[in-house]
Amino acid sequence: DAKTTQPNSMESNEEEPVHLPCNHSTISGTDYIHWYRQLPSQGPEYVIHGLTSNVNNRMASLAIAEDRKSSTLILHRATLRDAAVYYCILRDVAIYTGNQFYFGTGTSLTVIP
Amino acid sequence: EPEVTQTPSHQVTQMGQEVILRCVPISNHLYFYWYRQILGQKVEFLVSFYNNEISEKSEIFDDQFSVERPDGSNFTLKIRSTKLEDSAMYFCASREVGSYEQYFGPGTRLTVT
């Protein structure tokens, strides 16, 4: 699986938007971009995923660069509950494998009240 | 909302003892996973399981580890002879066929003394 690069940590003020970047310059054409987050003392939690087009769901938006070498997770209005480690993970679309994830170190997001 | 459950939440064992960690995946999910996270480190993939057999396993998942789906609801991870370095949080996850979203349990903290 291609490697991703994320900043170690970021800070955001409560109720402001947060843009979490991820670089994946060696992404292949069949790699999906997945975002998970891990709240303190909890298991990872799905946030969003996409392939080429930008994606929105109730939790966040995913903006994918046209060349797919980078993406940005957007939290539209950060709350204290969004303080977590955010992981950007690439995974090939292989139907007949387990599709497990290989987590990196992620970005630790601090939300300031 | 359906969720993955894990028992026990905390297990303390002596080095060399066998432990079994239990997970109840979401009922209509057919892919199951075990991950572990040593304190302060990243989440690491151990094994994926589908159709009553291991799909993939990592280098960590050596002969001391085994997984089983003993009945229609439980999914277990057995460590035959625990070592100090097995101390970690162990997360179970599941997903349904056709979905990329993995649902993680709250984890079992294993402490080997």
* B45's tokens: 């993939």
What mean pLDDT is predicted for residues A84-102?
80
Chain B hits for A104, CB-CB cut-off 8 Å, are 42
* Six token digits for residue B8: 């026990």
Report whether pLDDT(A93) > 90. no
Instruction: Provide the 10 A C-beta neighbour count for residue A76.
Output: 12
Residue A2 has pLDDT above 70, yes or no: no
> Which pLDDT score is estimated for B18?
98
A60-78: average pLDDT:
96
Residue B72 is given by DSSP the state: S
Instruction: Write out pLDDT tens, residues B14-48.
Output: 999 999 999 999 999 999 999 999 999 999 999 99
CB contact B11 to A (< 8 Å): no
Tell me the per-residue pLDDT of A24-55, one tens digit each, with 9 for 90 and over: 999 988 889 999 999 999 999 999 999 999 99
Which residues are registered as beta bridge partners of B66?
Answer: B78
Query: Does the pLDDT at position A96 exceed 60?
Result: no
pLDDT number for residue A95: 46
* Number of Cβ atoms within 10 Å of the Cβ of A108: 16
Q: Which of residues 26-65 of B touch A (CB under 8 A)?
A: 31, 33, 35, 42-45, 48-50, 55-56
Q: Average pLDDT, whole number, for chain B?
A: 95
* Encoded tokens for A37: 């987050």
* Residue B93: C-alpha distances to residues B34, B45, B60, B102 (Å): 6, 11, 17, 6
Q: In this complex, do A103 and B43 lie within 8 Å of one another by their Cβ atoms?
A: yes
Gap between the Cα atoms of A47 and A103, Å rounded: 14
Beta-carbon neighbour count of residue B45 at 10 Å?
20
Does the pLDDT at position A98 exceed 70?
no
Asked if A2 and A104 touch (Cβ cutoff 8 Å), the reply is no
Say whether B94 sits in a helix, a strand or coil: strand
Q: Is the C-alpha dihedral spanning B24, B29, B32, B36 positive or negative?
A: negative
Q: What is the pLDDT of residue A101?
A: 85
Cβ–Cβ of B48/A100 closer than 8 Å?
Answer: yes
Q: Which of A81-85, B59-63, B69-73, B81-85 has the lowest mean pLDDT?
A: B69-73
Tokens of A50: 């996409």
Residue B85 C-alpha, separation from nearest chain A C-alpha, in angstroms: 20
